[in-house]
Amino acid sequence: MELQPRLLDVSVPDDPEAAVLVLHGGANRAASMRVSPTQLSVLRMIPIARRIARVDRRRLAVFRLLNSYRGWDTTHTPVHDARWAIEQIAERLGRRLPLCLVGHSLGGRAALLTVGEPEVRSVVALAPWVYPTDMPDGLTGRRILIVHGTRDRVARPDRAAAVAKAISRHAPVSYVSVEGGGHAMIKRHAVFSSLASDFAALTLLGAAPRGALAGIPEDGSATLT
């Protein structure tokens, strides 16, 4: 039986102005293994999704995606599921709204590679697991934030930095190093989550930069200690 992705509501106001789609990570555990709502890679994105929802519960709709399968293969990737979710969001809301993609690990990679979809205005890639050759299409008019912990031993920060450098030739991108942060974002979690929520508010609702985001150049790099 073919497994299907699932779109979960986090906060859906009656008349939102924009939407955020939160994408989880997670490596393969077995061939075509189903994503569990209780796996750690899914659970760690719940507080981030809730933090984003608190930005503005009247203007911002927030959704979480559960992928069809764990991991990434050549036949069906999280990018396919992200594109499916974008269509589902438009169907549920009755119209297409400006969208920010927020993804962690392989979800960060999926977010970056889905940036060319027409609704997408911005991407937050948290500790993205990427190849240096991951070059998204359709970057014009998009804004990108990549956040990586300096102690990440799962997803290599140098690869993410290389992708950020390549993207910078085509779109505004900021690369932020979080001193002491690891892949699971447990240590310095408040930094990761606040950057994600504030960037969504900045790029979708026109909010002023605040907190840690206020000190980060729009198209440069920064280290948060």
Q: Could you tell me the pLDDT band of residue 145, with boundaries at 50, 70 and 90?
A: very high
| Structural domains in the chain (count) | 1
State the pLDDT at residue 222.
Answer: 80
Distance CA 179, CA 34 (A): 34
The answer to whether residue 95 is domain-embedded is yes
Q: Is residue 105 part of a domain?
A: yes
- In a 13 Å sphere around the CA of 31, the CA atoms on its Cβ side amount to 1
Is 1 contained in some domain?
no
For residue 14, being part of any structural domain is answered with yes
> Does residue 36 lie in a domain region?
yes
- Averaged over 163-187, what is the pLDDT? 94
Q: Is 76 part of a structural domain of the chain?
A: yes
pLDDT at 138: 94
Question: Residue 30 pLDDT > 90, yes or no?
Answer: no
Q: For residue 138, what are its two tokens?
A: 């359709």
Q: What band does 5 get if pLDDT is binned at 50, 70 and 90? A: very high
In which domain, by residue range, is 207 found?
6-224
1 pLDDT more than 60 = no
Looking at residues 49-75, what average pLDDT do you find? 93
- Does residue 100 lie within any of the structural domains? yes
Res 31: pLDDT: 58
CATH classification of the domain holding 74? 3.40.50.1820
Angle at 171 between CA 126 and CA 116, to 5 degrees: 75
Task: Report which of 112, 90, 100 is spatially closest to residue 60, judged by C-alpha positions.
Answer: 100
Per the domain annotation, does 157 fall within a domain? Answer: yes
Please give the residue that has the higher pLDDT: either 210 or 20: 20
